[in-house]
Amino acid sequence: MTWRLLFVDDVAEDVELATLELGRWPAAWISRRVDSEPQLRAALAEFAPHIVLCDLNLPGFDGEAARAIVRAQAPASLFVFLTGATADATEHLDDTVWDKNRLELLPMQLQALIDEHGPRAPTEAETDPAEADSPRVPAL
């Protein structure tokens, strides 16, 4: 299974650093990055991510709005706040919040999240035969 990761982040460099750390994760994965509400909605429909990693603070669009959209449009997707503003995340105690300043933990955190929620087999509609044997390819 190839895990589809969707980053909702306005800073491309942050996502590049995260994908570098994910190179140590033994699972097969691909990723995309979006930074606006229209892009998020399109990616949820077209990319069908298994996991959404979302910054809390985005210009003109915030993590709370993104979480609501993901829950409404793609309720099977796992949602994580990945933010450098962890002090602002205290109001999100019911949510998973990971620190961008500790990206070395990202592979372990992703695996623990998957282990906790169980591997989710994609439906036929979500399966892309071209992805079946593809290597980990970070797509930004």
Q: Is the pLDDT of residue 139 over 50?
A: no
Domain borders along the chain are 2-138
- 36, 98, 92, 68: CA torsion to nearest 10: 30
- What is the 8-class DSSP label of residue 84? S
Pairing of strands 57-58, 61-62: antiparallel
Q: How confident is the model at residue 62 (pLDDT cuts 50, 70, 90)?
A: confident
More confident position, 89 or 70: 70
At the second CATH level, the architecture of 2-138 is 3-Layer(aba) Sandwich (3.40)
Cα 57 versus chain centre, distance: 15
Give the tens place of pLDDT for each residue, 6-19.
999 999 999 999 99
Least confident of 47-56, 57-66, 75-84, 127-136: 127-136
Q: Is 60 left (phi over 0), alpha (psi -120 to 50) or beta?
A: left
Q: Is the pLDDT of residue 5 over 80?
A: yes
Distances (CA, A) of 21 to 14, 33, 59: 11, 16, 25
pLDDT above 90 coverage of the chain, percent? 64
Nearest-angstrom CA–CA distance, 63 and 75:
16
Nearest-angstrom CA–CA distance, 69 and 63:
10
Q: How confident is the model at residue 89 (pLDDT cuts 50, 70, 90)?
A: low
